[in-house]
A and B are shown apart, each in its own frame.
Chain A
Amino acid sequence: MAARTLYFAVNFLGVSGMTEPGRVAPLLIGAGTMLTSMVVAGFLLGYVVDTWLGSQPVFMLICGGLGLIGGFMKVHKLLSRLG
């Protein structure tokens, strides 16, 4: 009974890989995560370089900007797989 309920729940939510939302969901999750985490990683890398060179906030802004651009490019690349 529990197994059957889970099976129907999984299919209803469309994450079983059998439906269109199920196929799209992982890529959307990946795209959203990549965009945000690349911006954060960019700022973090810039912060480390700035702390090292004592040049705050030059590299933090440059790397943050590069992270944002790279994030958008990654999202485009990931979502282009959907056709």
Chain B
Amino acid sequence: MSEAVKQSGGGTVEYIQHHLTNLCAGDCDPATHQATSFWAWHLDTLFFSVALAVLIIAFSIRLGRNLSAGAPGPLQNFVETILEFVAGQVKDTFPGHNPLIAPLALTIFVWVWLMNFMDLIPVDLLPLLAGFVGIHYLKAVPTTDLNTTFAMSFTVFALIIYYNIKVKGPVGYMKMFLFHPFGKFLVPVNVVMSLIEEIAKPLSLGLRLFGNLFAGELVFLLIALIGGTMAVGWAAAFWLPLQVILDLGWLIFHLLVITLQAFIFMVLTIVYLGMAHTSDH
């Protein structure tokens, strides 16, 4: 491999690694900027997730003050459509009644969608702007950080355990571990199987969202590299339009992906909490 090719490959790898590195504070490696212990903070993830949550709250407060029962405006219509959609999902999927589930599902859907939506902002834009104010690492999509997706999935998991104990009682929950699904003669197998089932819940919630969004971000980065590495001289006349077409295509497709992932996270939360509310587990 020639030196030029090596350098080109090195630059490409560096570009991708740089874009996939969080702005780390606390116990972080000064060379790699990766967390070295539990007490490391991904400031960019925290900032964008909290900022989007504040945006939802501010928007809701503003909308709540301007609600109209007689002649709702277009914004109210839009929000009511989303609300009805989520309420319909809860009604169809969730057995029994719990006033917490629908607001929780709505919050998850909107928040996850907004965090996913950060993926559609051009990959170099926010890091470039941050670079002007002296921030050299910025990963703008909170859901491409495993900490975010697992924080949300563990929160849902805590709720699942809480409702399991509340609905079935502590003894009932322990009985589920010991005697479900093969009865009293296969207690060790039952314990392992119930444990697997419980581990599967946060795992499926957290890993799928992270995987999809991380892969999506990576594809955006690879497409951005087409213009960055190959468009030299006259070759730009071919590679730049290709980059634009590919980027647009992936963006349109990704719009579907981010909505679907937010929808699936919401649906799984409802299904898992529904399972916790049924006593015939």
Contact = CB atoms under 8 A, between A and B. Distances in A.
Our verdict on whether A and B bind, yes or no, reads yes
Interface of A: 1-4, 6-7, 10, 15-18, 22-23, 25-27, 29-30, 33-34, 36-38, 40-42, 44-45, 63, 66-67, 69-71, 73-74, 78, 81
Given A2-B74, A16-B88, 10 more contacts: A6-B78, A6-B81, A16-B84, A17-B88, A22-B92, A30-B268, A34-B200, A66-B192, A67-B193, A81-B95
Contact of B196 (A23, A25, A33, A38): A38
B172 to A, nearest CB: 17
B178 interface: no
Interface string B73-116: 01001101110110111011101000000000000000000000
A10 B74 contact: no
Contacts of A23: 92
Contacts, number: 99
B199 A41 contact: yes
B84 to A, nearest CB: 7
A74 B197 contact: yes
Contact of A26 (B87, B89, B181): B89
Contacts of B201: 37
Contacts of A6: 78, 81-82
20 contacts: A3-B74, A3-B80, A6-B78, A16-B85, A17-B88, A22-B89, A22-B92, A26-B89, A26-B267, A29-B264, A29-B267, A30-B271, A30-B272, A33-B208, A37-B204, A40-B200, A45-B195, A45-B199, A66-B192, A73-B181
